[in-house]
């Protein structure tokens, strides 16, 4: 069985694959001070509770946008599962795509993994919108090559910035308001964030397609993606498992070389 680890800025997702089947999936908050032993005990207990034998894991792959976490996650794989993990971004790991960027080494591992997964499943060219700590727009051509994109503040990050910077603005939850014109402070904040992001999605998607010079298929992923997909028809596909499936595909590509 394969242990897949997606380490983001806010959460780390651990999943166990047995072939194509996901046997278990768990999340932990991303914390630089958490040790390999803490992750190991926590994850082993959750796996056992779900009827998965930790000793059955015989391979692992890691994608992390937090460089400080890579050593800890490697140690976790070695110490608790007795496997040497593949790490997306290391020179020995082949992604099967060209990174058409001025500085390829700066591209986040999650963005490349999403590009691999989306190209394998959806007709290109593609725009992949990932609603994470940052909201990212990634461009993939019809051959699966990565062409960059846009990075915007994430929805929750924007809400927190409003609260922190303006004394009279409270913390609010993300949700779809029934109307655009807010009749009080909280409804106005919710409307600005929600409908503002819909405008961001539609505007950037249009400009990216025009600049790229071809019609593009738009795929959305990330925790808040379902909330925004329902309000715009520019997004054609919602795919919550995009990153994990991309890691599975990258692992298979490398172990069969």
Question: What are the structural domain ranges in the chain?
Answer: 2-87, 104-245
What is the reported pTM?
0.88
How does the average pLDDT of the chain come out, rounded? 91
Buried b (16+ CB within 10 A) or exposed e, 116-137: bbbbeebebbbbbbbbbbbbbb
**pLDDT digit string, tens, across residues 210-225:** 999 999 999 999 988 9
- The reply to whether 130 sits in an annotated binding site is yes
Confidence grade of residue 256 (pLDDT, cut at 50, 70, 90): low
For the stretch 125-135, pLDDT in tens is 999 999 988 89
10 is in an annotated binding site: yes
CATH number for the domain running over 104-245 = 3.30.420.40
Q: Pick the closest to residue 12 from 77, 83, 95 (CA basis).
A: 77
Q: Is 11 annotated as a binding residue?
A: yes
Determine what percent of the chain is predicted with pLDDT higher than 90.
67
User: Can you give the pLDDT at residue 217?
Assistant: 96
Residue 83 annotated as binding site:
no
User: Is a pLDDT exceeding 60 seen at residue 257?
Assistant: no
- Cis peptide bond prior to 138, omega within 30° of 0: no
Stronger pLDDT, 34 or 206, i.e. the higher one = 206
Give the C-alpha separation, 25 to 16, whole Å. Answer: 7
156 pLDDT tier (thresholds 50, 70, 90): confident
2-87: CATH number: 3.30.420.40
29 — pLDDT class (breaks 50, 70, 90)? confident
229 pLDDT more than 70: yes
Using CA atoms, how far apart are residues 112 and 242, in angstroms rounded to an integer?
11
| pLDDT tens string 43-86 | 999 999 999 999 999 999 999 988 889 999 999 999 999 999 99
pLDDT above 70 coverage of the chain, percent: 99
* Confidence (pLDDT) at 167: 63
Task: Judge whether 8 is annotated as a binding position.
Answer: yes
Q: Do domains 2-87 and 104-245 have the same CATH topology?
A: yes
Residues that are catalytic: 110
Mean pLDDT of 217-234: 92
DSSP 87-122: ETTSTT---SS-B-SSSGGGS-HHHHHHHHHHHHHS
∠ CA 248-251-253, nearest 5°, is 110
The C-alpha atoms of residue 228 and residue 108 are separated, in whole angstroms, by 23
82-127: pLDDT as tens digits? 999 999 989 899 999 999 999 988 898 999 999 999 999 998 899 9
Which of 59, 79, 23, 65 lies closest to 250 in space, CA to CA? 59
């Amino acid at each position: 069985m394969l242990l897949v680890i997606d380490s983001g800025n806010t959460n780390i997702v651990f999943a166990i694959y047995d072939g194509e089947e996901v046997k278990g999936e768990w999340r932990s908050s991303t914390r630089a001070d958490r040790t390999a032993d803490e992750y190991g005990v926590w994850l082993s207990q959750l796996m056992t509770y779900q009827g998965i034998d930790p000793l059955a894991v015989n391979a692992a792959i890691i994608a992390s946008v937090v460089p400080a976490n890579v050593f800890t996650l490697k140690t976790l794989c070695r110490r608790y599962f007795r496997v040497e993990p593949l790490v997306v971004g290391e020179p020995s790991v082949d992604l099967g795509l060209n990174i058409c960027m001025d500085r390829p080494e700066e591209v986040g591992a999650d963005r490349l993994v999403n590009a691999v997964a989306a190209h394998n499943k959806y007709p290109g060219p593609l725009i992949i919108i990932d609603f994470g700590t940052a909201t990212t727009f990634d461009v993939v051509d019809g051959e699966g090559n990565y062409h960059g994109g846009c990075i915007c503040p994430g929805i929750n990050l924007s809400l927190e910035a409003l609260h922190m910077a303006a004394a009279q603005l409270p913390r609010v939850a993300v949700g779809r308001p029934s109307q655009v014109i807010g009749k009080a402070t909280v409804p106005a904040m919710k409307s600005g964030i929600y409908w503002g992001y819909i405008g961001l999605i539609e505007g950037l998607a249009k400009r990216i397609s025009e600049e790229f010079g071809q019609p593009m298929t738009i795929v959305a992923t990330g925790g808040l993606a379902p909330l925004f997909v329902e309000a715009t028809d520019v997004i054609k596909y919602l795919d919550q498992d995009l990153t994990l499936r991309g890691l599975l595909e990258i692992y298979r590509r490398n172990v069969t070389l």
